[in-house]
Structure 1
């Protein structure tokens, strides 16, 4: 088990989502506001009364960040996209990402066309333009799939389109998914969430865009662990 991060976790109870970016949670018997960084619907997790995990924050209109929801085996499914990114970056730094072996982050928030991609990596074979997406929708008969997206995403469509154009121009392009739930083994796109993204991912695969995924989860004591450095991809 590889520990990637250690968070100052505060147990909380989810009450309701007030808007896209703010949730109402209960901490020590008091109602408090928590920042939500994930713009997905997250309907399987955002159930009133569900146990969750928050971290304290200072400044702004919220007191906490809603990081994860209790899931299989008491572990947390991590919905916070900033935590997902930090965990991925730590795994990369530790050399635990097999599909980015000996690579480093050259730049973040790279402008490509009319979009901004999350990363530009410097690898032994050259540069790699990459976009990271959060896959926190569980699927499959045994819950073994991490899926994306859970709702239509015009932004996601644009990103995949830019990656397709980069690949067609001869550049190395990649999209990878953070399966941030305990026990997931595979990734697949969710066609009910956004059929266009499913079609774009299949097109991306055909033109050479690399598609990868990894699995992480949160332990109740605040440790974020790498569960699987590479999930099987099914398109």
Structure 2
């Protein structure tokens, strides 16, 4: 999986109103880019950070540029566009690169389900031996000393998703929490108990109830000093639940 066009390097000036970011292009021009991330982006918006943008050719768009990647720390890239992880996960599953979810032949996205009126990111079916798998995808970009943490802010929505997944297990299906690790410096993933302790407790309860948790890191590699634009998921990353 790749970005449709080469990315444009810039320097971050500031992010504000959640969805806006002022950046400076290589020729010195300052433009406002769309920031497709509703979270806190903790650790992913250092002052004057190198960022990479995609540019839309749609003349009707108010903002032509979209913020995609950031150099979150020296030598470490992170994808902050939360519209990407669902497609990353689906592409990897369909390609057979996610061993835990191999063997399914049918894929549906954004299926309504649950008593709390949720939408599941991916519903997998058509396996010869396994029941349907309800897959909730989360983007992990918060890093500290090689450890990745989720969430990066208190998430009542994420807590709701865990409750819904537990219900699917009680009804005989598989339920999977899929962490897409979009930060090249992350070696393990943990619940961010220091940010949202309730989410951490609920995640451990969900695992005890049979919800499966997997994590895979994106291959955000460098070419000629910049990112290659590759978003494909590669190796598995351990998920550590011990407090």
Match of 1:128 in 2: 133
Unaligned 5+ residue runs, structure 2?
A: 222-226
- Counterparts of 1:105 and 1:148 in 2: how far apart (Å)? 29
| 1:86-117 alpha-carbon deviations (Å, 9 max, x no partner) | 22222222211111112245211111121111
SS of residue paired to 1:89: helix
Q: 2:150 aligns with which of 148, 165, 170?
A: 148
Match of 1:232 in 2: 238
Matched pairs, number? 228
SS of residue paired to 1:121: strand
Question: Are 2:18 and 1:17 aligned?
Answer: no
1:76-225 to structure 2, matched below 5 A, reads 76-113=77-114, 114-122=117-125, 123-124=127-128, 125-139=130-144, 143-219=145-221, 220-225=227-232
TM-score (structure 1 length as normaliser)? 0.89
- Counterparts of 1:167 and 1:213 in 2: how far apart (Å)? 19
CA-based RMSD of the aligned residues comes to 1.8
Deviation at 1:6, TM superposition (A): 4.2
- Counterparts of 1:103 and 1:146 in 2: how far apart (Å)? 29
Higher RCO (CA-CA < 8 Å; seq separation 6+): 1
| 1:147-190 alpha-carbon deviations (Å, 9 max, x no partner) | 11010111111111111111122221111111111142221110
SS of residue paired to 1:233: coil
Q: Is the 8 A contact 2:90 2:122 kept in 1?
A: no
TM-score (structure 2 length as normaliser)? 0.86
- Counterparts of 1:234 and 1:216 in 2: how far apart (Å)? 19
Higher strand share: 1
Unaligned 5+ residue runs, structure 1?
A: none
From the superposition, tell whether residues 217 and 14 of structure 1 become closer, same or farther in structure 2 (CA, over 3 Å). Answer: farther
